[in-house]
């Protein structure tokens, strides 16, 4: 049996050596003009490509000067506000937006029905896949479970070596269709084998939308309200795509450019999204809000809440990272359009669920946090909530377990990944290869016996 104490001790020694040699003077980053996060000296993302899939607007030119503006998000030239308004609260938007991002045009009624039918037909896993793959080695880390399932599906695809665009698109659509099943079944396996709870595997129903199927597969009694399904549908639509510069989409582009297969590309994107700095932000928001409510004496006292937010920023409270989660964005300044449009749906759901008190508390933090950040960080251009601030609250109201928050992000974002993969395949036949400046100093080799 392994002596883990000794292994831990040895690892600590190796870590000390690694840190000693890998630590780089921060001033060297400035010397060589390196901006982490691929940002130039003005803080703008370094240009690595062009895309016709989506666009983010956070600034506008006023009298020749770049000025912050209310954020806008565009899918294939259409403002997401208009896409959601066009649903009139009656239709589900995931399938329509997926068609738009993949095909480049809004579908007519016949095309939408045909595309939805294709998604329905693809909502099927290989025989015994759920038992032999998903239920084997169940884990709380559902992103790992999802990634493993995606890579294993490649073994069942006889077209894996076919590099035609038609086949690549078909593979993307198949994965878009089964992602909800892989995620929800992964949770049920974990809940049964690890938590000792009951397990039930509900098959997707052909007449239901993606959002409806996700809820009915997750819940023991398969029931849900129309409002619940529509709010989840809006959440999926808003998380579907966000420009080519985000970490997981850039990962999709990079791995696609190497010539790798669809399954490997999506697995790589999942690994990127899994990081708490990317896909896990809404979990941190929920944890932070719960922590504040459980710590302050009176959650309706704005001064007390504001003082505690100051402590969080000063690294004296919560996780001591000095961050108010759900506030600010790498691109947006005045507002995140996803948060703005989502908030009205969040309020509707909160009122229907008898959670208005909870919504009011989130609303208070949304109002107070920018003031605190401006005062403490001396940021006056504007700090606004991002979509993660409310999405975790919504998932909580929908009784979605915390372990599924990031997988749901993936269920939506795989559509954007697929669109970017296809655009990369169609337009570029060259591997993405960034450069690093080496600061290494040559050294003379020392024989082992002399070290």
Catalytic residues: 329, 388
Distance between CA atoms of residues 53 and 398, nearest Å: 30
């Amino acid at each position: 049996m392994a002596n883990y104490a000794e292994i831990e001790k040895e690892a600590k020694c190796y870590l000390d050596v690694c840190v000693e040699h890998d630590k780089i003077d921060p001033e060297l980053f400035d010397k060589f003009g390196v901006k982490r996060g691929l940002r130039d000296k003005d803080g703008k993302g370094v240009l690595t490509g062009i895309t016709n899939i989506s666009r983010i607007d956070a600034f506008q030119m006023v009298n020749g000067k770049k000025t912050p503006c209310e954020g806008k998000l565009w899918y294939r030239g259409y403002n997401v506000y208009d896409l959601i308004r066009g649903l009139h609260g009656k239709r589900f938007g995931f399938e329509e937006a997926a068609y738009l991002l993949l095909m480049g045009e809004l579908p007519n009624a016949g095309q939408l029905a045909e595309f939805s039918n294709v998604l329905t037909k693809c909502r099927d896993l290989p025989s015994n896949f759920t038992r032999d793959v998903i239920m084997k080695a169940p884990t709380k880390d559902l992103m790992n479970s999802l990634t493993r399932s995606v890579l294993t599906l490649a073994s069942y695809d006889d077209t894996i070596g076919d590099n035609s665009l038609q086949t690549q698109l078909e593979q993307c659509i198949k994965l878009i269709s089964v992602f909800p099943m892989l995620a929800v079944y992964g949770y049920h396996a974990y809940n049964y084998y690890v938590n000792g709870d009951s397990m039930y595997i509900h098959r997707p129903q052909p007449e239901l939308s993606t959002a409806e199927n996700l809820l009915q597969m997750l819940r023991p009694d398969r029931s849900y309200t129309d409002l619940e399904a529509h709010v989840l549908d809006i959440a999926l639509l808003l998380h579907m795509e966000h420009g080519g510069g985000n970490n997981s989409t850039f990962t999709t582009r990079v791995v696609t450019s190497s010539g790798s297969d669809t399954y490997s590309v999506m697995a790589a994107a999942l690994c990127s999204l899994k990081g708490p700095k990317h896909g896990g932000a809404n979990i941190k928001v929920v944890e932070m809000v719960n922590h504040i409510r459980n710590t302050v004496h009176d959650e309706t006292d704005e001064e007390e809440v504001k003082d505690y937010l100051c402590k969080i920023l000063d690294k004296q409270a919560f996780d001591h990272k000095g961050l108010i989660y759900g506030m600010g964005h790498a691109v947006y300044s005045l507002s995140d359009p996803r948060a703005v449009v989502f908030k009205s749906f969040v309020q509707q759901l909160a009122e229907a669920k008898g959670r208005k008190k909870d919504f009011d508390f989130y609303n208070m933090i949304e109002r107070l946090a920018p003031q605190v950040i401006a005062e403490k960080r001396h940021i006056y251009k504007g700090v606004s909530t991002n979509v993660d601030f409310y999405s975790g609250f919504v998932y909580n109201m929908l009784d979605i377990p915390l372990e599924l928050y990031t997988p749901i992000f993936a269920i939506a974002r795989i559509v954007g990944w697929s669109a970017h993969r296809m655009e990369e395949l169609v337009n570029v036949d060259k591997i993405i290869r960034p450069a690093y400046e080496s600061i290494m100093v040559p050294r003379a080799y020392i024989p082992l016996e002399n070290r």
